[in-house]
């Protein structure tokens, strides 16, 4: 009897504790607290986004991943190692051709353009094409004879054109890059690095003609149907270029740019065994862990202030500000305008205050603000 009463008493105590714990439990969304910071509610979506994807394991012995807007390097391995660059060479061929030649220039294919190389588009001696048509064949189908024809037509001979390519590399400060031909065949003097190729890729995508060509999975030029060698254009969301390359010595190479609402990323893999898979893994890492935060002060009623004489002035930044943050942090951004100088007739070269940007309740950055014509 004593044991029964004791068990009955314990059951009532446990039941009472359970009821009290229910009364003290909230049913709202999860919250994060951090010492003296105020309580901030976090959605289930944000909680999922807080989980970072670890650095991927790639087959490529040399690679780089960077944000194209900020230039910030996010992942890299052997990025300054000089390696055979294969047909990624053709990005510089196109850049120099557009710098030195005209798109409407007529080019007659000559026998020497076909000597020692294979023309995947079956270019024929005596055929006439425009430089623009040859650029399509160069960048979409990676035609080697097109590279020779472009170089000879623009410079008079291939050797002179290759010299221009090396001058271009020096001008851009590419310390680990040198070219021996305009198409990328293996040669001891035709090399580059993942770092240099990423710079070249950014330069190529900044050229509107090249950017327009390399984004196309297929095109028609000189009555030929061109199919891009870059399969990511059809299979990876946001892929907009740039250039493939494959030779026995170089292995599989790929320079890629992806553009999504949360930012623009660029990667280069060299010597890969599975270049498209490696690139997908790099880009997945970028978009899972980083997002671009773009801050500007456009002309509107919020971006104005009055000086001591009650005259209105517009305020602005010296260019736009872009920083990388975690994707889940984008909704936590707060921007404050602090005016420190309200003297009349402000100089456009002297800051009149600061733009203060906080992220998740903490200071992210401060940049000077300037008066500008209203």
pLDDT confidence of residue 56? 93
Q: Where are the alpha helices (DSSP H) in the chain?
A: 2-23, 44-49, 90-100, 111-114, 131-139, 144-155, 158-171, 194-206, 208-214, 232-235, 275-289
Give yes or no for a contact between 127 and 107, defined as CB atoms under 8 angstroms apart: no
The tokens 């271009």 sit on which residue? Answer: 168
pLDDT confidence of residue 199? 98
pLDDT confidence of residue 314? 93
Tally of CB atoms within 10 A around 14: 10
Please report, in angstroms and rounded to a whole number, the separation of the first and last CA atoms in the chain.
92
- Residue-by-residue DSSP string for 59-119: S-SEEEEEETTT--EEEEESTT--EE-GGGGHHHHHHHHHHHS-TT-EEE--HHHHTTS--
Specify whether 368 is located in the same domain as 251.
Answer: no
What stretches in the chain show pLDDT beneath 50? 1-39
pLDDT confidence of residue 7? 35
Q: Coil, helix or strand for 299?
A: coil
Q: What angle do CA 42, 45, 47 make, to 5 degrees?
A: 55
Q: Phi and psi for 63 in degrees, rounded to 5?
A: -160, 170
Specify whether 127 is located in the same domain as 273.
Answer: yes
pLDDT confidence of residue 55? 87
Specify whether 113 is located in the same domain as 220.
Answer: yes
pLDDT confidence of residue 26? 41
Distance CA 151, CA 113 (A): 9
Specify whether 198 is located in the same domain as 246.
Answer: yes
pLDDT confidence of residue 44? 54
- Does 274 fall in a domain? yes
Specify whether 278 is located in the same domain as 300.
Answer: no
Q: What is the DSSP letter of 57?
A: P
3-state helix, strand, coil in the chain (%, to 5): 35, 30, 40
Q: Coil, helix or strand for 68?
A: coil
Domain end, chosen from 254, 289, 324, is at: 289
Specify whether 283 is located in the same domain as 205.
Answer: yes
Specify whether 107 is located in the same domain as 219.
Answer: yes
**Domain CATH code at residue 332:** 2.60.410.10
Specify whether 223 is located in the same domain as 357.
Answer: no
- Does 26 fall in a domain? no
Specify whether 74 is located in the same domain as 195.
Answer: yes
Total domains in the chain come to 2
Specify whether 107 is located in the same domain as 223.
Answer: yes
Specify whether 272 is located in the same domain as 331.
Answer: no
Distance CA 161, CA 92 (A): 11
The strand pairing partners of 321, in sequence order, are 295
pLDDT confidence of residue 264? 97
- Does 57 fall in a domain? no
Could you tell me the residue range of the domain that residue 152 belongs to?
Answer: 62-289
pLDDT confidence of residue 331? 86
């Amino acid at each position: 009897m004593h044991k029964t009463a004791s068990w009955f008493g314990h059951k009532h105590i446990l039941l009472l504790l359970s009821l009290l714990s229910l009364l003290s439990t909230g049913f709202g969304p999860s919250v994060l607290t951090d010492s003296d910071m105020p309580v901030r509610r976090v959605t289930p979506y944000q909680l999922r986004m807080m989980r970072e994807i670890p650095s991927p394991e790639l087959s490529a012995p040399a690679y780089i991943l960077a944000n194209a807007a900020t230039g910030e390097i996010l992942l890299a391995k052997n990025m300054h190692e000089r390696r055979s660059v294969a047909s990624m060479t053709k990005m510089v061929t196109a850049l120099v051709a557009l710098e030195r030649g005209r798109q409407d220039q007529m080019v007659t294919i000559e026998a020497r353009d076909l000597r020692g190389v294979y023309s995947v588009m079956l270019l024929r001696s005596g055929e006439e094409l425009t430089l623009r048509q040859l650029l399509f064949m160069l960048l979409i189908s990676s035609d080697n004879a097109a590279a020779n024809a472009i170089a000879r037509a623009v410079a008079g001979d291939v050797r002179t054109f290759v010299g221009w390519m090396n001058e271009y590399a020096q001008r851009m400060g590419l310390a680990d890059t040198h070219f021996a031909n305009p198409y990328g065949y293996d040669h001891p003097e035709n090399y580059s690095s993942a770092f240099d190729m990423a710079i070249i890729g950014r330069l190529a995508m900044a050229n509107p003609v090249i950017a327009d060509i390399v984004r196309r999975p297929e095109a028609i030029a000189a009555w030929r149907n061109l199919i891009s060698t870059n399969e990511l254009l059809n299979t990876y969301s946001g892929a907009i270029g740039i250039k493939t390359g494959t030779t026995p010595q170089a292995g599989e190479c790929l320079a890629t740019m992806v553009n999504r609402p949360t930012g623009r990323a660029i990667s280069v893999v060299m010597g890969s065994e599975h270049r498209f898979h490696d690139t997908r893994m790099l880009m997945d890492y970028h978009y899972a862990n980083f997002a671009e935060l773009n801050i500007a002060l456009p002309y509107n009623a919020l971006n104005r202030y009055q000086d001591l004489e009650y005259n209105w002035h517009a305020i602005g930044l010296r260019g736009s500000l872009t920083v990388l943050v975690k994707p889940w942090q984008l909704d936590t951004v707060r921007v404050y305008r602090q005016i420190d100088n309200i003297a009349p007739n402000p100089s456009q070269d002297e800051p009149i205050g600061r733009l203060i940007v906080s992220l998740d309740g903490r200071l992210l950055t401060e940049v000077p603000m300037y008066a500008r014509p209203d």
